[in-house]
Chains A and B, each alone.
Chain A
């Protein structure tokens, strides 16, 4: 393989892995705090991408502003999702069982809404900058570089938030023991809301970063969701370190398999990895729960 092609593939894999990582962190955060898998995570992603597209298309604002507004809106969507889908169910005895089904139903609803507004055609977003940095045969677009840096910054900030900030520590406490957290006065409802909000925010960041590379279309949320879930299971629920390692392993396997066998095999390979992990080590690489 030529060196230029190789660096191109490696960079593509790194960018893809970075975005899967953000989506997986959104899932794991919600699962950790509420013990509910949020099937609507992929739908939040496509909606964030569509919102960014509409904002950019209508207002011609610059990339940074569009991204900031989109991320803000997706945070709000995440909060709203918790208020609409999770909060009303909590009076039921076995609400988690219903809640999972509700998030799946909500995801299908949001997807069909997107389909009826935007149709099946893919919509792209512009890049942060069209510039390219090159060094010898290797080159990287500024957008890819910025993506990697933004993801690293997001993961670091999230880590700090969970370990230093009051609300973040509250969420970590609820994840460890909801009853104990409630007894010491942590407002559980608010923590539930935050976890969904941050999951929405992470979906928003992923969307504005990835859509310039992969234009958004309604069914896309599910492929991203399945990959994020595979990352999660592979890395182990509740472990950020595991998620980071798994995201990059998965994205490398996917990128090189795609370049060798064609794009159709990306998801089936994902499923095979998922089944192998579940069969031999259901806890994942560094699983906590």
Chain B
């Protein structure tokens, strides 16, 4: 059976094709490749954050904590403890982030709204302290864990000199997880999230299990966040408590807000310009964060639903 693809699907497949062919044109421009890899990572992080914050409307202010947890788990397993393959490390990193996510979901089940935000944010604030204090369990203290093993395929080991292989792994991760998130949003579970968000009593009276939805939203988004964090750390070759910094949190938050909550490709689209802008602002040091903060405030007060509010841009699901 041949299904006619919609215009949207053509746009998506077309942009994926462009991204896949892009290294042919700019593959030797390492700076540009690096920025694109970062954009893929941040786009995936923001999209998975949007899944829980926008669609399920659980105030999860701890998403970057899962990102860092994934990174630390993979770094410790590959470098300090078992010496497992980084590929496996990335998966386990995602798995542990998911486990912690479910653990955090437990006390949050009985809470409503902003309380969840406070608990998750407290987790985010406390993790860097534990990472600094955790020399004994191998977190490397303030220095972090350096020279993490790089990814490899067969005998070929990825290096920082040749970014094209990293690019394709990041692209695959980005495309795969974006597809998963899109599918979840449009599945019965995604609809259940939205139903609970819009009218909890009605949704529950129709038999939607709110505990189950909370667990699924925490689990899936934490897993994706953890995998992204682990990949990020292997790509950078280092993980330190700075991964839990508020600067990192703020950057993810800017992407999410500019992309708009519950506006699926919004966060993905917003990640690209913001990664480039962030890079351009790096020489300004601390002023960079002031500008990012100002963008958050400006977007929230002027364009509360993000860029997808702009005409001609329509979310793929509400």
- Distance, CA A147 to CA B106, complexed state (A): 39
In chain B, positions 268-307 with a C-beta closer than 8 Å to chain A are 285-287, 289-290, 292-294, 296-297, 300-301, 304
| Chain B residue nearest in CB terms to A232 | B118
In chain A, positions 94-153 with a C-beta closer than 8 Å to chain B are 97-98, 100-102, 104-106, 108-113, 115-116, 119
Residues of A within 8 A of B129 (CB): 264, 267-268
In chain A, positions 61-110 with a C-beta closer than 8 Å to chain B are 84-85, 88-89, 92, 97-98, 100-102, 104-106, 108-110
Residues of A within 8 A of B292 (CB): 108, 112
Known: A97-B57, A112-B293, A233-B115. A267 touches B107 (CB 8 A): no
Residues of A within 8 A of B122 (CB): 226, 229-230, 267, 270-271, 274
Closest chain B CB from A60 CB (angstroms)? 28
Q: Is B35 an interface residue (CB 8 A)?
A: no
Q: CB distance A112 to B289 under 8 Å? A: yes
Q: CB distance A108 to B110 under 8 Å? A: no
Q: CB distance B301 to A222 under 8 Å? A: no
Q: CB distance A101 to B300 under 8 Å? A: yes
| Chain A residue nearest in CB terms to B247 | A112
Residues of A within 8 A of B107 (CB): 275, 278-279
- Distance, CA A104 to CA B286, complexed state (A): 18
Q: Is B174 an interface residue (CB 8 A)?
A: no
Q: Is B253 an interface residue (CB 8 A)?
A: yes
Give the number of chain B interface residues (Cβ < 8 Å). 41
- Distance, CA A109 to CA B247, complexed state (A): 10
- Distance, CA A101 to CA B49, complexed state (A): 14
| Chain A residue nearest in CB terms to B292 | A112
In chain B, positions 78-113 with a C-beta closer than 8 Å to chain A are 106-107, 110-111, 113
Q: CB distance A278 to B296 under 8 Å? A: no
Q: Is A223 an interface residue (CB 8 A)?
A: yes
Q: CB distance B301 to A89 under 8 Å? A: yes
Q: CB distance A116 to B286 under 8 Å? A: yes
- Distance, CA A98 to CA B59, complexed state (A): 11
Q: CB distance A264 to B132 under 8 Å? A: yes
Q: CB distance A100 to B115 under 8 Å? A: no
Q: Is B114 an interface residue (CB 8 A)?
A: yes
DSSP class of B's interface residues: helix, strand, loop or mixed?
Answer: helix
Q: Which of B113, B130, B285, B300 contacts A98 (CB 8 A)?
A: B300
Tally inter-chain residue pairs, CB-CB below 8 A.
Answer: 116
Q: CB distance B257 to A222 under 8 Å? A: no
Closest chain A CB from B257 CB (angstroms)? 7
Q: CB distance B117 to A37 under 8 Å? A: yes
Q: CB distance A102 to B300 under 8 Å? A: yes
Q: CB distance A113 to B293 under 8 Å? A: yes
- 1/0 per residue, CB under 8 A from A, across B109-136: the answer is 0110111011101110110011011000
Q: Is A249 an interface residue (CB 8 A)?
A: no
Residues of B within 8 A of A39 (CB): 121
DSSP class of A's interface residues: helix, strand, loop or mixed?
Answer: helix
| Chain A residue nearest in CB terms to B296 | A105
- Distance, CA A270 to CA B133, complexed state (A): 16
Q: Which of B59, B61, B118, B246 contacts A229 (CB 8 A)?
A: B118
Residues of B within 8 A of A168 (CB): none
Q: CB distance B289 to A108 under 8 Å? A: yes
Residues of B within 8 A of A219 (CB): 246
Residues of B within 8 A of A215 (CB): none
Q: Is A282 an interface residue (CB 8 A)?
A: yes
Residues of B within 8 A of A36 (CB): 114
Residues of A within 8 A of B300 (CB): 98, 101-102, 105
Q: Is B195 an interface residue (CB 8 A)?
A: no
In chain B, positions 1-34 with a C-beta closer than 8 Å to chain A are none
- Distance, CA A270 to CA B57, complexed state (A): 26
Q: Is B189 an interface residue (CB 8 A)?
A: no
Q: CB distance A109 to B296 under 8 Å? A: yes
Closest chain B CB from A106 CB (angstroms)? 6
Closest chain B CB from A87 CB (angstroms)? 10
- Distance, CA A239 to CA B287, complexed state (A): 40
Closest chain A CB from B167 CB (angstroms)? 31
In chain B, positions 235-249 with a C-beta closer than 8 Å to chain A are 246-247, 249
Q: Is B250 an interface residue (CB 8 A)?
A: yes
| Chain A residue nearest in CB terms to B123 | A271
Q: Which of A88, A97, A100, A116 contacts B289 (CB 8 A)?
A: A116
Known: A271-B122, A278-B115. A88 touches B287 (CB 8 A): no
Residues of B within 8 A of A109 (CB): 290, 293-294, 296-297
- Distance, CA A111 to CA B117, complexed state (A): 19
Q: 11 A-B contacts, Cβ less than 8 Å apart?
A: A37-B118, A92-B304, A109-B290, A111-B246, A223-B125, A230-B122, A264-B130, A267-B122, A271-B122, A274-B122, A278-B111
Q: A115-B286, A282-B110 are in contact. List 9 more A-B contacts (CB 8 A).
A: A85-B297, A97-B57, A105-B296, A112-B293, A267-B126, A270-B126, A271-B123, A278-B119, A282-B115
Residues of B within 8 A of A (CB): 57, 59, 61, 106-107, 110-111, 113-115, 117-119, 121-123, 125-126, 129-130, 132-133, 246-247, 249-250, 253, 257, 285-287, 289-290, 292-294, 296-297, 300-301, 304
Top 10 nearest A-B pairs (CB, nearest first) are A109-B293, A112-B289, A116-B286, A105-B296, A264-B133, A37-B114, A112-B290, A278-B107, A108-B250, A115-B286
